[in-house]
């Protein structure tokens, strides 16, 4: 159904009033309908926000409303340029969604005063779209993630269309550039569709955009090459062109869905996308102080920023505001005219109130999870060699896919590393998604695969966020060193999550789950470039309890940890574990006990009233700490030891009582005995956690100190002084200082083990591998 000329006129009026309300939020603290002459007193003392992108947002949103009012369906609006928030809020206000969640935002002058006064105001509304904004699943403060987030939202949501507005500045980012390829992974048969709209207003903060200076022919060629069917909205009579473009786009989406769900689609469907050109700052001040403003970068933020004190700027703003003739469209008492209300979709279909953006019990469904016992390994004795943590995880995740086949609310994401990370058991149950033509020798691919592999961590992170914030569960597995690519994205998500947890109507969402494997400790074959535990450091800077980092020491602990992470809500879980075959230490029951507290004294490696405490965080570091204990007991059998394994760290420490069961630190680490920590990451990361635990002079922290190369596995430990020999030397020094070991005996032992370090270096240079005593080491009971 084509939109009528009469309705187009209504849309134009709707855009006028939304543009006015956008500007009013930026500038006004009184006289909100301009019923009096504008004075300096009516202007806010601080002018914050962004005007330039607002008119284009309002233009698109109004036309979408008009289309959806005639063709009701589930659609959400994802705003890439988050600094266009005053425009988004203007539309949420006009459609009535804002009032539903903020009762003071009534659709009259009082409600307008409420949103205008509180925009960019202390303890009011922030300047960017944010978790407190209904319908928002993307903050947009950092650009580049709107397209991948939109694709994540439509995964397993077959009735949903996500309209994604991408700014032309945002389009210059690497994250956006790779996200265009997601049309090759999302099959419209079982998923919704994304309608990308690239907004070309031509300018960034201080200069032109790349896309803005490209011709329509170049852009159409580019996006056709990406696999889209571009529709250009440009030139004169933009309103008629946009109405026609949306009609065409939604018709194509309907046709693609119908064909795919009839089993007739065998190639990559060529979905529509819109190239929309509107002037930056459209309809605002044309010139100021001799400078071009409209259709230039100078309209990007606040135009006339000195209006509070400058008469010329105040007059220009008053003249600008008066062009909207807002009182013709929005009255003091009744608010938006009935004529304009006619293009607002009925409540269930308002984009700002889409149920998928604020999951409730109809959207969020807990996963059906297997017992950890199902894939647990027996532990005949501590140190018995088992399979890898990743093999255990792969078996577990395959069963999660199997158990949740009907609900279709679980996905797996990885950058072409599933086989490498030993998680390929999932392919016995599902496949990797790909719509592109397959060769006969390609393995484990299908159009409806529930694993997505793409060599862009940015794009996978965006998918993960969109999928999670719309109420579904997933795991993102990556090489530890390269998850760093999305550190900034994870930071933004953590901020979003922290704020969202304080907003009751946001609803519960599953936790975001990372598995970091191929850690630096076993990237000795790939070299220095693959050795980096920095993501953990960054995430442990986050305030509060919702970021939890786990270091399972063996396969059974991995199973327990993974199960708990997949059933958790409203958090971020990071699991760091290895993929090589390593010793088994704990039964499932013991692992559950350790998970409950976040740490555990391992009795098989501990004695009463210890002289020294060893503690380890991480699987490979645990093995080296236990090897050091074994050597110490061989050399100095009278010394009493204790071993504490730490499974979990958070920003609030080890077993912090504000996050879970209170932990008495002294119960584990004594009052005054020396403690040697062997840590998976950078030593300073653990030191900051230990800062609150009393006399830190008795603590020594070993960890990754940025020493590495292509070498042997044990030499990686040696280079970073986390190996058994360096730990033993440190322990002997501390025991001597405590008077437990005589100086002569200490000096002789230290010299002996320094010689071992020298011998090891010579051995690996000659043979290229670690000596058998290292490679074949196994734990022996303390008193055997």
pLDDT in tens, 180-192: 999 999 999 999 9
CB 3 within 8 A of CB 70: yes
CB 180 within 8 A of CB 35: no
Last residue of a domain, one of 526, 553, 583: 583
Matching residue, tokens 């077959």: 158
Among 7, 202, 180, 31, which residue's Cα sits nearest to residue 116? 31
Does residue 652 register a pLDDT over 70? Answer: no
- C-alpha distances in Å from residue 718, one per residue of 530, 555, 711, 756: 17, 25, 11, 11
Q: Which residues pair with 601 in a beta bridge?
A: 644
Tell me, yes or no, whether 404 lies in a domain. Answer: yes
Phi-psi region of 42 (alpha: psi -120 to 50; beta: other; left: phi over 0): alpha
Q: How far is CA 642 from the centre of its chain?
A: 38
Per-residue pLDDT at 661 = 56
CB 512 within 8 A of CB 486: no
Same domain, 531 and 443: yes
Between CA 53 and CA 236 the distance in angstroms is 19
Between CA 313 and CA 309 the distance in angstroms is 8
Tell me, yes or no, whether 406 lies in a domain. Answer: yes
Percent of the chain with pLDDT over 70: 98
Provide the pLDDT confidence category of residue 284 given band limits of 50, 70 and 90. Answer: very high
Provide the pLDDT confidence category of residue 265 given band limits of 50, 70 and 90. Answer: confident
What lies within 8 Å, CB to CB, of 564 at 6+ separation is 595
Q: In what order do the strands lie in the sheet with 432-433?
A: 445-446, 432-433, 451-453, 410-414, 473-479, 512-517, 572-576, 547-550, 648-650
**Considering its fold, how many domains does the chain have in total?**
3
- The pair of structure tokens assigned to 371 is 């017992």
Domain with 667 in it: what CATH number?
A: 3.40.50.920
CB 573 within 8 A of CB 565: yes
CB 197 within 8 A of CB 164: yes
Does residue 321 register a pLDDT over 80? Answer: yes
Q: CA end-to-end span of the chain, whole Å?
A: 85
Same domain, 556 and 610: no
Mean pLDDT computed over every residue of the chain: 95
Provide the pLDDT confidence category of residue 2 given band limits of 50, 70 and 90. Answer: confident
Residue of higher predicted confidence among 642 and 524 = 642
Tell me, yes or no, whether 455 lies in a domain. Answer: yes
Tell me, yes or no, whether 194 lies in a domain. Answer: yes
Phi, psi dihedrals of residue 574, rounded to the nearest 5°: -125, 125
**β-bridge pairing 648-650 and 161-167:** unpaired
**β-bridge pairing 583-584 and 384-385:** antiparallel
Per-residue pLDDT at 657 = 52
CB 637 within 8 A of CB 741: no
Residue of higher predicted confidence among 544 and 434 = 434
CB 202 within 8 A of CB 243: no
Same domain, 698 and 726: yes
Same domain, 565 and 662: no
Between CA 16 and CA 324 the distance in angstroms is 6
- The pair of structure tokens assigned to 772 is 């058998």
Between CA 194 and CA 148 the distance in angstroms is 10
pTM score, two decimals?
0.96
Between CA 749 and CA 732 the distance in angstroms is 8
Between CA 461 and CA 534 the distance in angstroms is 17
- The pair of structure tokens assigned to 596 is 């409950």
Does residue 560 register a pLDDT over 60? Answer: yes
Provide the pLDDT confidence category of residue 1 given band limits of 50, 70 and 90. Answer: low
Last residue of a domain, one of 558, 583, 608: 583
What lies within 8 Å, CB to CB, of 748 at 6+ separation is none
Between CA 527 and CA 697 the distance in angstroms is 34
Same domain, 495 and 435: yes
Does the CA dihedral 686-464-476-226 come out positive or negative?
negative
Tell me, yes or no, whether 369 lies in a domain. Answer: no
Same domain, 510 and 387: yes
- DSSP output for 128-197: S--TTSTT-S---SSSS-HHHHHHHHHTT-TT-EEEEEEETTGGGSHHHHHHGGGGGT--TTTS-EEEEE
pLDDT in tens, 706-743: 999 999 999 999 999 999 999 999 999 999 999 999 99
CB 667 within 8 A of CB 556: no
pLDDT in tens, 510-548: 999 999 999 999 998 998 999 999 999 999 988 777 899
Same domain, 297 and 441: no
Residue 550 lies in domain: 374-583
- C-alpha distances in Å from residue 573, one per residue of 474, 499, 564: 11, 17, 10
pLDDT in tens, 197-221: 999 999 999 999 999 999 999 999 9
Element (H, E) at 615: strand 612-617
Lowest mean pLDDT among 10-14, 20-24, 592-596, 663-667: 663-667
CA atoms within 13 A on the CB side of 774: 22
Between CA 613 and CA 699 the distance in angstroms is 10
Alpha-helical runs (H) found in 649-781: 665-669, 683-690, 713-719, 724-737, 743-767, 772-775
Same domain, 654 and 530: no
Between CA 401 and CA 412 the distance in angstroms is 9
Does residue 240 register a pLDDT over 70? Answer: yes
Phi, psi dihedrals of residue 111, rounded to the nearest 5°: -65, -40
- The pair of structure tokens assigned to 338 is 């009935």
CB 109 within 8 A of CB 335: yes
Same domain, 660 and 560: no
Same domain, 567 and 709: no
CA atoms within 13 A on the CB side of 198: 29
Last residue of a domain, one of 355, 389, 424: 355
Tell me, yes or no, whether 594 lies in a domain. Answer: no
Domain with 564 in it: what CATH number?
A: 3.40.50.970
Q: Which residues pair with 595 in a beta bridge?
A: none
Per-residue pLDDT at 378 = 95
What lies within 8 Å, CB to CB, of 763 at 6+ separation is 770, 771
Tell me, yes or no, whether 756 lies in a domain. Answer: yes
Average pLDDT on 311-332 reads 96
pLDDT in tens, 60-107: 999 999 999 999 999 999 999 999 999 999 999 999 999 999 999 999
| Number of residues assigned to the chain | 784
- The pair of structure tokens assigned to 583 is 């010793």
- The pair of structure tokens assigned to 135 is 């319908």
How many Å is the Cα radius of gyration of the chain? Answer: 30
- C-alpha distances in Å from residue 123, one per residue of 28, 118, 120, 205, 492: 17, 8, 9, 27, 20
CB 54 within 8 A of CB 22: yes
pLDDT in tens, 130-151: 999 999 999 988 899 999 999 9
pLDDT in tens, 437-484: 999 999 999 999 999 999 999 999 999 999 999 999 999 999 999 999
Between CA 97 and CA 99 the distance in angstroms is 5
Phi-psi region of 509 (alpha: psi -120 to 50; beta: other; left: phi over 0): beta
Same domain, 631 and 554: no
Q: How far is CA 393 from the centre of its chain?
A: 21
Average pLDDT on 261-269 reads 84
Tell me, yes or no, whether 589 lies in a domain. Answer: no
326-342 CB burial, b ≥16 within 10 A, e <16 = beebbeeeebbbeebbe
Same domain, 138 and 106: yes
């Amino acid at each position: 159904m084509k939109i009528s000329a009469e309705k187009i006129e209504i849309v134009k009026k709707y855009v006028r009033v939304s543009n006015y309300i956008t500007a009013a939020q930026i500038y006004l603290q009184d006289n909100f309908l301009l019923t009096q002459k504008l004075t300096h007193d009516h202007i806010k003392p601080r002018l914050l926000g962004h005007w330039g992108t607002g008119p284009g947002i309002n233009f698109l949103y109004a036309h979408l409303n008009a289309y959806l009012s005639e063709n009701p369906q589930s659609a959400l609006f994802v705003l890439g340029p988050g600094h266009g928030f005053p425009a988004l809020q203007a539309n949420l206000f006009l459609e009535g969604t804002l009032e539903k969640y903020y009762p003071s935002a009534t659709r009259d002058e009082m409600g307008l005063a409420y949103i205008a006064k509180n925009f960019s105001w202390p303890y009011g509304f922030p300047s960017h779209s944010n978790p407190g904004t209904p319908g928002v699943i993307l903050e947009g403060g950092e650009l580049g993630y709107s397209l991948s987030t939109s694709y994540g939202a439509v995964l397993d949501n077959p009735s949903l269309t996500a309209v994604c507005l991408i700014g032309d500045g945002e389009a210059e980012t690497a994250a956006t550039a790779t996200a265009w390829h997601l049309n090759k992974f999302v099959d419209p048969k079982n998923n919704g569709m994304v309608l990308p709209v690239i907004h070309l207003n031509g300018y960034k903060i201080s200069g032109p955009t790349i896309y803005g200076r490209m011709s329509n022919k170049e852009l159409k060629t580019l996006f056709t090459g990406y696999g889209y069917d571009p529709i250009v909205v440009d030139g004169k009579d933009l309103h008629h062109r946009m109405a026609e473009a949306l009609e065409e786009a939604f018709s194509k989406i309907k046709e693609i869905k119908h064909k795919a769900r009839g089993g007739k689609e065998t190639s990559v469907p060529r979905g529509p996308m819109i190239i929309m050109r509107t002037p930056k700052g459209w309809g605002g001040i044309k010139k100021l102080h001799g400078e071009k403003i409209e259709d230039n970068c100078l309209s990007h933020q606040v135009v006339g920023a000195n209006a509070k004190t400058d008469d010329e700027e105040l007059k220009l703003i008053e003249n600008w505001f008066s062009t909207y003739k807002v009182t013709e469209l929005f009255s003091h008492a009744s608010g938006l005219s009935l004529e304009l209300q006619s293009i607002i979709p009925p409540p269930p279909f308002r984009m700002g109130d889409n149920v998928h953006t604020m999951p409730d019990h109809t959207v969020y469904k807990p996963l059906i999870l297997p017992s950890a016992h199902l894939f647990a390994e027996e532990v005949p004795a501590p140190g018995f060699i088992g399979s890898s943590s990743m093999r255990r995880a792969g078996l577990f995740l395959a069963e999660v896919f199997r158990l949740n086949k009907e609900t279709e609310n679980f996905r797996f994401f990885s950058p072409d590393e599933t086989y490498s990370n030993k998680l390929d058991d999932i392919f016995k149950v599902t496949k990797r998604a790909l719509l592109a033509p397959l060769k006969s020798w390609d393995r484990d691919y299908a159009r409806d695969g529930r694993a997505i592999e793409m060599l862009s961590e940015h794009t996978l992170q965006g998918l993960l966020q969109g999928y999670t914030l719309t109420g579904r569960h997933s795991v993102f597995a990556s090489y530890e060193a390269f998850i760093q690519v999305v550190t900034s994205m994870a930071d933004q998500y953590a901020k979003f999550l922290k704020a969202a947890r304080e907003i009751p109507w946001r609803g519960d969402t599953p936790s975001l789950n990372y598995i970091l494997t191929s850690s630096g400790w076993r990237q000795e074959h790939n070299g220095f470039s693959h050795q980096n535990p920095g993501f953990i450091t960054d995430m442990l800077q986050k305030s509060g309890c919702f970021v939890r980092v786990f270091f399972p020491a063996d396969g059974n602990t991995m199973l327990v940890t993974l199960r708990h992470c997949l059933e958790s809500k409203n958090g971020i879980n990071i699991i760091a574990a290895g993929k090589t075959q390593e010793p088994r230490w704990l039964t499932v029951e013991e692992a559950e006990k350790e998970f409950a507290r976040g740490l555990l004294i391992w009795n098989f490696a501990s004695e009463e009233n210890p002289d020294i405490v060893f503690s380890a965080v991480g699987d490979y570091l645990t093995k080296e700490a236990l090897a050091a204990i074994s050597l110490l007991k061989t050399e100095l059998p009278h010394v009493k030891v204790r071993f504490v394994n730490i499974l979990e760290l958070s920003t609030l420490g080890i077993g912090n009582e504000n996050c879970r069961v209170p932990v008495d630190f002294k119960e584990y680490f004594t009052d005054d005995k020396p403690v040697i920590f062997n840590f998976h990451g950078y030593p300073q990361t653990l030191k900051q956690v230990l800062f609150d635990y009393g006399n830190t002079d008795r603590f020594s922290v070993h960890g990754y100190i940025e020493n590495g190369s292509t070498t042997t596995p044990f030499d990686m430990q040696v280079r970073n002084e986390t190996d058994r020999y360096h730990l033993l030397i440190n322990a002997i020094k501390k025991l001597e200082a405590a008077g437990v070991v005589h100086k002569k005996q200490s000096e002789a032992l230290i010299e002996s083990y320094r010689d071992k370090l020298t011998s090891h270096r010579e051995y690996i240079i000659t043979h290229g591998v670690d000596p058998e005593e290292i490679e074949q080491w196994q734990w022996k009971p303390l008193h055997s």
